[in-house]
């Protein structure tokens, strides 16, 4: 099969970025995905979704290559790759997107920088640069200057500035690398300074930025490298100009092969963003939450609030098929945009209010929440109160049916419950009493109507006997105690029906596309958290350690995993999964004060 080819790395990819732009590259240095100039734009590099077509990439080909190694530089978003040939000649490639502070602002241009250096012998390399536009159409029009090549498409212009021999790049001809060469890929703008000096300076300052950012994280003792890599990945998924947090950097990586479950995740799901904000807050990285609250302020007056927005909230998200891209491993369709924007997903209101909670209670924040923000959140709470027991598409975004989903109703309850807590904190006694009364009534109705005596469990929706892993979140949001006998029975039922070895399915009932085949990684973390709270701690740690085996060589996770093969599936890297990893690791880890870890 084609996907078993030697040069097919699947989702064994690294993410580089700077909060405005981001790219994915393979362990042999090929950049296979880069949306230009921002996360959700047309990909200049689209090879990841091009099937068997060799288009939409930038790479360095070493003649006679026999080995390679690739990893992030420690505590950074800089990737270092070494290629070695049969005569032990070697070349080192450093890839990053510039990010550092200058004039009290963060410098984050829509640029990628690639530094190619000989480190042993006389390596002979070919630099290939094959951009696309309009989702998979090769850009044929180009003009060559003294130190750059400009590629012009109908709606996109990108410039490669380099001190490498342009004629060799233009012809894709091999040459002997005798000195470092530098490539800057970005907008069609003149490069104002010495290229080599600037690239080296950008690299050093970008490394320094990330190492300093990591130094300020408050992490637990165990799994430190795991947590740090996940945190950097989440930071790279925050579009800082608007505060949006995207679900993943890709579109249309299938949840499972030939399933048709291909979706565009380059947008801001308010539910996913809440989990990301929660995870970064847990580490003390609060700026993302503050930026996300700014994003919320622009949409919170809508009724209803949509579950997902473009990173610029006013942009449309109409779902279309990109016909010029065959799909990941030829498995399409490739979708651009997402019809989920038009769905009713009522858990959205709880996600927003839970994300905003620290604004009122975290004393570290320079601009705490006030009565004005509370009034805005109350507007969302009123909608949650109205819609809590109305049918919606649910957390899993069913396209062909509507139900009163347990998770959606529970998050509406959480919205009202948290508004009561915020009102108490602000000294608004009447508002606190009103929201407490609303929440109590919702809670009683929820626990009664979502319980199925037939299944011995809280089920996926009112009137349904289907099981759903999202019910595992009920103690986390406070709707039910974890040791409530009904919840304990629910956990047992989920273990009996949704576990596949150590993998956890979201659900197993047929949906719009048939029976699900892939296990959701976030669901495993939810189960681990529940086990930990129930005192099943050895099982929880064993399950978590096993989950770490499915990270790729760079420490990243996608949305899903194939329970049969263990292969990562779904869009990548998935913020839901990376946030779940952080939250679970922080919960399970020993503290720095624990003495029992000393030998």
**Structure confidence by residue, pLDDT tens digits, 415-434:** 999 999 999 999 999 999 99
The answer to the question of residue 30 being in a domain is yes
Q: What is the pLDDT of residue 593?
A: 81
**What token pair was written down for 35?**
């949306």
Cα dist. 65→72, 549, 551 in Å? Answer: 21, 28, 26
**CA pair distance 398, 537, nearest whole angstrom:** 34
**CA pair distance 527, 536, nearest whole angstrom:** 11
The answer to the question of residue 411 being in a domain is no
Cα dist. 11→14, 203, 295, 422, 587 in Å? Answer: 9, 26, 30, 42, 28
CB environment 12-25: b (16+ within 10 A), e (fewer): ebbbbbbbbbbbbb
The answer to the question of residue 86 being in a domain is yes
- Whether residue 61 contacts residue 7, with contact meaning beta carbons closer than 8 Å, is answered with no
Instruction: Collect the ranges in the chain with pLDDT lower than 70.
Output: 1-6, 595-599
Q: What is the pLDDT of residue 3?
A: 32
**What token pair was written down for 588?**
């399970």
- Give alpha helix (H) positions in 426-557: 429-449, 474-477, 485-498, 521-533, 537-548
Q: What is the pLDDT of residue 358?
A: 93
pTM for the structure as a whole: 0.96
The answer to the question of residue 295 being in a domain is no
Q: What is the pLDDT of residue 303?
A: 84
**Structure confidence by residue, pLDDT tens digits, 68-101:** 999 999 999 999 999 999 999 999 999 999 999 9
**CA pair distance 202, 144, nearest whole angstrom:** 25
For tokens 């270092």, name the residue.
80
The answer to the question of residue 203 being in a domain is yes
The answer to the question of residue 493 being in a domain is no
- Whether residue 322 contacts residue 35, with contact meaning beta carbons closer than 8 Å, is answered with no
Percent pLDDT > 90 in the chain is 91
Number of structural domains the chain divides into: 1
Find the farthest-apart pair of alpha carbons in the chain and give their distance in angstroms, rounded. Answer: 79
The answer to the question of residue 517 being in a domain is no
The answer to the question of residue 358 being in a domain is no
Q: Which domain holds residue 163?
A: 2-213
For tokens 């060559």, name the residue.
144
For tokens 């939250």, name the residue.
583
Provide DSSP, 272-323.
HHHHHHHHHHHTT--HHHHHHHHHHHTTTT-SSPPSEE-SSTTS----EE-T
**CA pair distance 277, 243, nearest whole angstrom:** 11
**Structure confidence by residue, pLDDT tens digits, 204-255:** 999 999 999 999 999 999 999 999 999 999 999 999 999 999 999 999 999 9
Average pLDDT taken over every residue of the chain = 95
**Number of C-beta neighbours around residue 303 at 10 A:** 10
């Amino acid at each position: 099969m084609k996907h078993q080819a030697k040069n097919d790395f699947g989702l064994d990819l690294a993410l580089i970025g700077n909060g405005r732009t981001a790219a994915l590259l393979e362990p042999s240095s090929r950049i296979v995905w880069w949306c230009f100039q921002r996360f959700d734009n047309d990909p200049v590099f689209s090879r990841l979704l091009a099937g068997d077509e060799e288009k939409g990439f930038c790479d360095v080909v070493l003649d006679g290559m026999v080995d390679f190694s690739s990893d992030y530089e420690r505590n950074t978003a800089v990737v270092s790759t070494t290629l070695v040939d049969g005569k032990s000649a070697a070349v080192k490639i450093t890839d990053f997107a510039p990010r550092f502070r200058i004039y009290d602002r963060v410098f984050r241009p829509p640029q990628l920088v690639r530094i190619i250096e000989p480190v042993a012998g006389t390596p002979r390399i070919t630099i290939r640069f094959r951009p696309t536009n309009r989702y998979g159409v090769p850009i044929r029009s180009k003009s060559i200057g003294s130190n750059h090549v400009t590629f012009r498409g109908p709606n996109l212009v990108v410039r490669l500035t380099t001190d490498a021999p342009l004629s060799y790049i233009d012809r894709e001809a091999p040459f002997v690398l005798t000195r470092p060469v530098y490539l800057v890929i970005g907008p069609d703008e003149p490069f104002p300074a010495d290229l080599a000096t600037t690239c080296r300076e950008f690299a050093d300052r970008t490394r320094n930025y990330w190492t300093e950012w990591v130094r300020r994280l408050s992490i637990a003792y165990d799994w430190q490298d795991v947590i740090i890599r996940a945190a950097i990945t989440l930071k790279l998924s925050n579009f800082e100009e608007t505060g949006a947090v995207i679900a993943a950097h890709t579109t249309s990586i299938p949840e499972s092969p030939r399933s048709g479950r291909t979706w565009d995740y380059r947008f801001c799901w308010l539910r996913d963003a809440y989990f990301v904000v929660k995870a970064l807050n847990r580490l003390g990285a609060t700026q993302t939450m503050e930026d996300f609250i700014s994003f919320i302020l622009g949409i919170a007056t809508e009724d209803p609030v949509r579950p997902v927005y473009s990173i610029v909230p006013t942009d449309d998200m109409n779902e279309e098929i990109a016909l010029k891209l065959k799909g990941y491993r030829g498995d399409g369709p490739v979708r651009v945009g997402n019809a989920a924007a038009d769905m009713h997903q009522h858990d959205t209101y709880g996600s927003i209010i839970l994300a905003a909670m620290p604004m009122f209670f975290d004393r570290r924040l320079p601009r705490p929440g006030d009565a004005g923000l509370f009034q805005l959140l109350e507007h969302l709470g009123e909608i949650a109160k109205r819609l809590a027991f109305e049918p919606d598409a649910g957390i899993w975004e069913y396209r062909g049916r509507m139900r009163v989903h347990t998770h959606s109703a529970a998050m509406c309850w959480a919205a009202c419950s948290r508004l009561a807590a915020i009102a108490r904190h602000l000294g608004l006694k009447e508002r606190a009493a009103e929201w407490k009364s609303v929440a109590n009534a919702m809670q009683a109705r929820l626990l009664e109507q979502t319980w199925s005596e037939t299944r011995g469990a809280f089920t996926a929706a009112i009137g349904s006997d289907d099981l759903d892993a999202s019910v595992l979140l009920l103690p986390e949001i406070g709707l039910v105690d974890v040791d409530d006998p009904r919840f304990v029975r629910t956990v047992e039922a989920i273990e009996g029906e949704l576990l596949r070895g150590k993998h956890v399915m979201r659900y197993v009932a047929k949906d719009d596309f048939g029976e699900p085949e892939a296990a959701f990684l976030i669901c495993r973390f939810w189960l681990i958290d529940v086990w930990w709270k129930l005192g099943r701690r050895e099982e929880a740690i064993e399950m978590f350690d096993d989950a770490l085996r499915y990270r790729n060589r760079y420490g990243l996770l996608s949305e899903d995993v194939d329970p049969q093969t263990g292969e990562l599936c779904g869009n990548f890297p998935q913020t839901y999964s990376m946030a779940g990893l952080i939250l679970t690791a922080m919960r399970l880890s020993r503290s720095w004060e624990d003495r029992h870890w000393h030998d």
